[in-house]
Amino acid sequence: MKNKISLIFAVVLFQLVHAVSGGAQEHKGPLVCNPALLRHNAPAQPVQKKTSIALPFFEDFTSYELYPDHSRWVENQVYINNTMCVSPISRGVATFDALNEKGLPWNPYANLGFNFADSLTSQPIDLSSFTPADSLYISFFYQPQGNGFYPLTADSFYLFLRDRYGNYVKTWKTPGTTVRPFTQVMIPITDTLYFYNNFQFRFVNIAALNYSDAIWNLDYVRFDAHRNMNDTLVNDIAYSSDPTFMLNDYTSMPYRQFYVYPAGERASHYTDSIHNNTNTQPITYNFSATDIGSGTVLQALSTNTTTLPGYSIEQLSNNAYTTTVTPSSPHQKVVFENKFYIESTSGTGTKDNDTIVKKQVFDNYLAYDDGTAEQSYYITLLPTLPGKISIEYHLNTPDTMQGMAIYFGRQVPSSAYKTFDIQIYSSLAGINGASIDNLLYQQYNCDPGYADTINHFWIYKFDTPLPLPTGTFYAGVFMPAESGDDSLYFGLDINRLGGNHAYYNVLSAWSPSSIQGAIMMRPLLGQGIVSSHVNETIAPVKSAWGISPNPARDELTFYFPGDEVARYRLTNVQGQVLMAGNVASNNTISISTLPAGMYFVNITIDGVTAAPQKLIKL
C-alpha cells in the first residue's frame, strides 16, 4: 500500500511539474506504456553468439523493426523508432524509456528511487588480435528527451565495457538534462583487459521504474581500429525525419472523402529531411509513388539535383502528383506508397538510410495523428463541473459516423472507474462564430480500453449510426463531474505540426488548445464497425461454431455456418486481445508464436458476437 501511495504521489507531482501554462488546465504526461510493443509479438530473447563478431561494428538503427538487430545486440529492451527523436543523425534511433520489452514499466509500484532500467549490450566482439597501438575507438551519438520528457539529473545514461574477467566496468556517464541536439562521444579502448575474444559493451540508463518520464535516444554507434579522437566525421548523407503526408491537413481520411475534392485535400508538395554529415555536397534526390492495391504508377520517377550545405539538416521538396485511382467500392481501403531516395557520389556511410518510404492510407477514419503517441494529454477536472474535449473535423461529402477510435494513455490513479460519454456537435459556443453548442449525438457510459487493435486504438461502436452532412463537425469526450481529480489520459502525437484542431471546456466555456500535437481520437465513418469491448451481445444463432484442433500447437481452423467472413479475436485469460483479423469458415490461422497456455477465441459476424470458445495452446 505504501508503494502505491508513493506512485500516486509521484505522478501527481509529475503532473504539477509538467502542467501547461495558461491556467494549468491542460497538461502533458508520460505514456506509462508503449502500445507499439504492448501488442507486438516480441522476438525470442536473442542468444549471445558463441562465435564472436569482428570489427568494424556499425549500427545506425535504420530499421522498420521495433527491436534491436540480434546480429549485433543481445537484449530486446530498447525501442527502435523514428518518432521519439528530434533530428537524428540518420533515420531510426534506439530509445531508452524505462519500459521493458513488452512496453510496460519495469516496476509499476516502485517508489521514487532510481535504478538501472533499459540495457543494450553488443554481441561478443573478437579483440584478441588487437593491441592498444591499433587505436580502437567506440563512438556514438546520444540525445536526452527527444519527443518525450527530459531526464532529471539522476536519470543518467551510461556506457559499460566488459573486461576479460566478465566484469562490466563503468567507462562513461552523463546526467539528465533538457532536449538538445544529438551529441557525439568518443571512447578510446586502451586497457589490455579488453583485448580478448569476447569483449562486449553495454549502454544502460538509470530511471524511476514506475513510468516512462525520462527518455534517452541513441544513434550511429561505430567501433573500429585505426581511429583517433578527431575521427568524428560521420561522412554520411542520410534521411532523418519522416516525410510529410500527402494530405494537406488530415493524415488519413476515407478515399471517397478525398476523391470528391482532391485539390483541397492534397498538399502542394511533400518534404523530407536530409542530414548531411559531410562537407558541402551535390546530390540527386528521387521520388516515385504507386497505388499498392492496383499497381498503378501515380508518380513516375522524379529526379532532382541540389547542393547540400555541409553538416546541416535540409528540407527537400517534391511537387505533389495529381494522379488518382478509381476504387471498386466507395468504402474500399486505398494505400499509396510514396518512395524517396537519394544518390550521392561522396560519403562512405551505409546505403540503407538513403531510402525512406511513406505510406498514405485512406481508410474508414479521419485522423490528424500519425498513429504513434509520444506523450499523453489530459485536462484538470473540477469537483462540480464536467470536462470536455472536442476536435474539429470536416467532410467533403455526406457520410455516416459509426463510432469513435480513441488512443488512451495509461494513468495513475487507475482509469478503471472513469466512465465517459462520446459527444458529436455541429457547433461549439464561441468557436468559429457559433453562439450555442449544438449536440448531435451522445454515446453514454463508455469505459476506457487499451491497445486492443493492431493500431492500438480502442473502438467504440455507436448504438445508432449518425448521418453527417458536408461541412464541419466536432467529435470528442464528456467526462462527468465527481469523476476524480484528473481526467482520462489520451494519446498525444507530438510530431503533429500546425494546428491541432482541439478545444477543451473545464469552466463551462470552450477554449482552443495550446498543446502542440494531435490528440488521438478518430471518427469512424462508412460501413458498420466492430466494437473493441469484450461484452458484445451474444447471438444464439451464431453460437454453433467451433475451432479445431483443440488443444492446438501451430494452426487453428474455424468452422461456422454460412459463407460470411467473420472477425475473430483471440484473448488471454486477462481479456487482452493478442490476435485479431478476418477469417472465413474452414480457413486456418497460425498460432505458432503464442506461448503455451489457455486462451479464449470468439467471432463476430454482421456486428453480432458469438459465445467465446476456450483454446488450449500446446
**Stretch 402-430: mean pLDDT, rounded?**
83
The answer as to whether 48 is a domain residue is: yes
The answer as to whether 135 is a domain residue is: yes
Q: What is the pLDDT of residues 18-40, one digit of tens each?
A: 444 334 689 888 877 787 776 66
Q: Which of 362, 394, 417 is the last residue of a domain?
A: 362
One domain for residues 356 and 246: yes
One domain for residues 428 and 518: yes
The answer as to whether 464 is a domain residue is: yes
**Stretch 462-468: mean pLDDT, rounded?**
95
**Stretch 487-491: mean pLDDT, rounded?**
89
One domain for residues 343 and 425: no
The alpha carbon torsion through 251, 252, 255, 261 (nearest 10 deg) reads -30
What is the rounded CA–CA span in Å between residue 17 and residue 27? 10
Does residue 472 have a pLDDT over 90? yes
C-alpha cell recorded at residue 45: 530473447
Q: What is the pLDDT of residues 202-247, one digit of tens each?
A: 999 998 877 677 899 999 999 999 999 999 988 888 888 888 899 9
One domain for residues 224 and 90: yes
Q: How confident is the model at residue 422 (pLDDT cuts 50, 70, 90)?
A: very high
One domain for residues 288 and 217: no
The answer as to whether 343 is a domain residue is: yes
Q: Residue 514: what pLDDT?
A: 92
**Stretch 343-347: mean pLDDT, rounded?**
63
One domain for residues 61 and 201: yes
235: number of Cβ within 10 Å: 12
One domain for residues 260 and 393: no
**What is the total count of domains within the chain?**
4
The answer as to whether 11 is a domain residue is: no
Q: What distance lies between CA 560 and its chain's CA centroid?
A: 36
The answer as to whether 506 is a domain residue is: yes
**Stretch 547-573: mean pLDDT, rounded?**
85
Q: Which range, of 294-298, 566-570, 575-579, averages the lowest pLDDT?
A: 575-579
Does residue 552 have a pLDDT over 50? yes
Q: Residue 115: what pLDDT?
A: 87
Q: Which residues of 594-603 are buried (b: 16+ CB within 10 A; e: fewer)?
A: beeeebebbb
Q: Residue 349: what pLDDT?
A: 57
One domain for residues 186 and 267: no
Q: Residue 239: what pLDDT?
A: 87
DSSP classification of residue 440: E
DSSP string, 382-427: -TTS-EEEEEEEEESS-EEEEEEEE-BPP-SS-STT--EEEEEEEE
One domain for residues 381 and 507: yes
142: number of Cβ within 10 Å: 22
**Stretch 178-206: mean pLDDT, rounded?**
96
CATH code for position 337 = 2.60.40
Q: Which of 362, 392, 426 is the last residue of a domain?
A: 362
Q: How many CA atoms lie within 13 A of 341 on its CB side?
A: 11
Q: Which of 318, 336, 362 is the last residue of a domain?
A: 362
Q: Which domain range does residue 286 map to?
A: 238-362
One domain for residues 561 and 499: no
Q: Are 248 and 394 in contact (CB under 8 A)?
A: no
The alpha carbon torsion through 540, 542, 547, 550 (nearest 10 deg) reads 0
- 375-379, 424-428, 478-482: range with highest mean pLDDT: 424-428
Q: What is the pLDDT of residues 277-326, one digit of tens each?
A: 888 988 888 899 999 989 999 999 888 888 989 888 888 888 889 988 98
| CA-based radius of gyration for the chain | 26
The answer as to whether 531 is a domain residue is: no
**Stretch 188-215: mean pLDDT, rounded?**
92
Only one residue has cell 492510407, namely: 361
One domain for residues 323 and 451: no
One domain for residues 260 and 220: no
CATH code for position 550 = 2.60.40.3080
What is the rounded CA–CA span in Å between residue 602 and residue 588? 14
CATH code for position 162 = 2.60.120.260
The answer as to whether 15 is a domain residue is: no
Strands 136-144 and 502-505: what pairing?
A: unpaired
- N-to-C CA span, the chain: 38
Q: What is the pLDDT of residues 366-390, one digit of tens each?
A: 999 998 889 999 998 887 788 999 9
